[in-house]
Structure 1
Amino acid sequence: MDPAVKKELVDDLDRFVRRRDYYKRVGKAWKRGYLLYGPPGTGKSSLIAAIANYLKFDIYDLELTSVSSNSQLRGLLVSTRNRSMLVIEDIDCSIELQNRPAGPGGCGQGTNDELTLSGLLNFIDGLCAFRVLASNYLCITDHDLFNEIDKLMLAVEVTPAQVAEELMKSEDTDIALQGLINFLRYRKL
């Protein structure tokens, strides 16, 4: 790798790790994405391993051919641990991702019976969003009710604004989280 590009990459990684609290303060998920491209044998996988080693992050290799629906993809992404890297190799040719459904109401996520490009992009973008909101509104990073909320959020489509509204209804963490659970259960019905 060109020494100047390597320095630029290392500086970017250091800045990313250093600014975790900044991401939390502005309400953004603490994540960083890179698009690596080039023919086989040019060092993409080696670079991924080097970055993971440098950051001391786990690596998750997502094989899109094994994912058949948006709901299955969402479940896989929610199960990844913090401080990890998600690697999707050959995204352009591993499967035929459908884009937004045609016709009225084709808003981009398709159904839970198919895997769509917009679903993939939305889930990656929204990964850890609930925890960012819980941290911002309730000043917590973990709670016994998080697992139940994660499961309900897999089954229900809600916006970050709706989640934030529920979290703001009480200053008591347990009451706020239980209120969110009740809201999600109601939406599921």
Structure 2
Amino acid sequence: MVGEHEGPWCKARAVADGLSRASGDVLVVADADVWSPGWETAVDQVQAGVAWAMPHGPVRRLTHAATQDVLDGHDPHVGMDLTQRPYEGWPGGGMVVLRRETYEEAPLDPRFVGWSGEDESWAHALRALAGEGWRGSAPLWHLWHPPQERMSRRWGSAAARALAFRYARARSPERMSALLDEARQTA
């Protein structure tokens, strides 16, 4: 299911929209601008009992021309032009596979509006409430698009940064549950 919503970008709202129509017990939560060939292995890991899984290690950000090649039907591959050197993806970002019940216990926070903070904060929530996830080594191909307006390369807004710092400090299950309860009240 593809999740959408009106207004400023909010990953949590887009995922909630998609989940409202999804019927499976195992979910693949993927940003619309990425692909990883390791997704089936991550699904297998969750079905075998891990709490959550990320199929990818290195993120490969494609150039505009390489993205057009992919959109024209070519499979992404090593050797395609990249905008920067490959790097290890953020935990909680790109593509995450988990059981629906795990998502319901540790959902994305809709208070993250715009870009930044939501992925790493989600990983903090997943770790605190469900334990460490499994991580694969498949590449994650990131399609080129103009960057979203943001205050720096790292942070989209002061509000996102402040909320992400709260997630980083809420390491116990009790503190994380309380933080997520705040989020549920604003949803």
TM-score (norm: length of structure 2): 0.28
Q: 1 or 2, which has the higher helix percentage? A: 1
Q: 1 or 2, which has the higher strand percentage? A: 2
Structure number with bigger Rg: 1
Structure of greater relative contact order (alpha carbons < 8 Å, 6+ residues apart): 2
